[in-house]
Every structure is written in structure tokens, then in C-alpha cells.
Amino acid sequence: MNLNPLRLGGIALLLLACGSAPPRELIDARAALDNASYGPAPEFDPAGLYVAARALQDAETTYELDGNCEKTRDRAYVAMRKVERAETLARTRAYEAQATESARQVWNEQVRRYLRAVAAQAGRP
């Protein structure tokens, strides 16, 4: 096989192009963090969202320095898990807040009924 400089340059360019594409894990982690930013996480778990953003930044930095390598994919995977954790914790806290408010409303209604019943027994309208 004759490797002339033009063919060698083409092969080098092809290898460079293949190595420059971000890994799927990094793309997915970016999208997940973006989506999480519009959900309950900013309100109910801002610290978890911050930790996830820092983990994603670590993955981005690794990608910039080392390209599409195992270390980059590993860090992107970790970032994705931290985003998922923040979203899950935020949803749990949101549901707990909703349940607490519902329980409070039920309790208040029961107290009002009780007070009306006591007032009616006492002969008051």
C-alpha cells in the first residue's frame, strides 16, 4: 500500500474528526441538566442541581483536554446520575410539600366542621 502525503493527510483528518465528536454520554448529560433546570429541581433541590452542574463541568473540561475518551464518558455518566438524583429528590420534596398542604387543608376543614358542630350544640348559629 502506497501512503502518499495526501492520503496520509486524509487519514489524519478523518481520525481527528472522529475523535472530536462529543460522546453520547456527554450530550445526554447536557440535555438532562438543561431539562432539570426547568423542572422542580431549582426550587426543591438547588444544591443537588448545582452539584450536577459542577459534575457536568468536570466532564466538559475533561472532554476539552482529553477528547472523547473513557475518562470523559465516565465523568459524563457521573454527571447524568447526579442530575437524575437532583430531579428525583426535587420531585420527592415537591410531592411531600403537596401532600403536606393537602393534609393541612383536610385538617383545617375538619376543625371548621368540629367548631360548627360545637357551636350548634351550644345553641349558637
Does the residue 10 lie in any domain?
no
Percent over 90 (pLDDT), the chain: 62
pLDDT of residue 123: 80
pLDDT of residue 118: 86
The CA–CA distances, whole Å, from 54 to 29, 83, 125 equal: 12, 10, 62
pLDDT of residue 13: 47
Does the residue 39 lie in any domain?
yes
What's the rounded Cα separation, in Å, for the pair 50 and 57? 10
What's the domain range around 54? 22-98
Does the residue 46 lie in any domain?
yes
Closest among 67, 64, 62, 103 to 79, alpha carbons compared:
62
Does the residue 117 lie in any domain?
no
Does the residue 6 lie in any domain?
no
Nine-digit cell string for 88: 428525583
Does the residue 51 lie in any domain?
yes
State pTM to two decimals: 0.70
Which positions of the chain have pLDDT values less than 50? Answer: 1, 3, 8, 12-15, 17-18
pLDDT of residue 8: 47
Domain count within the chain: 1
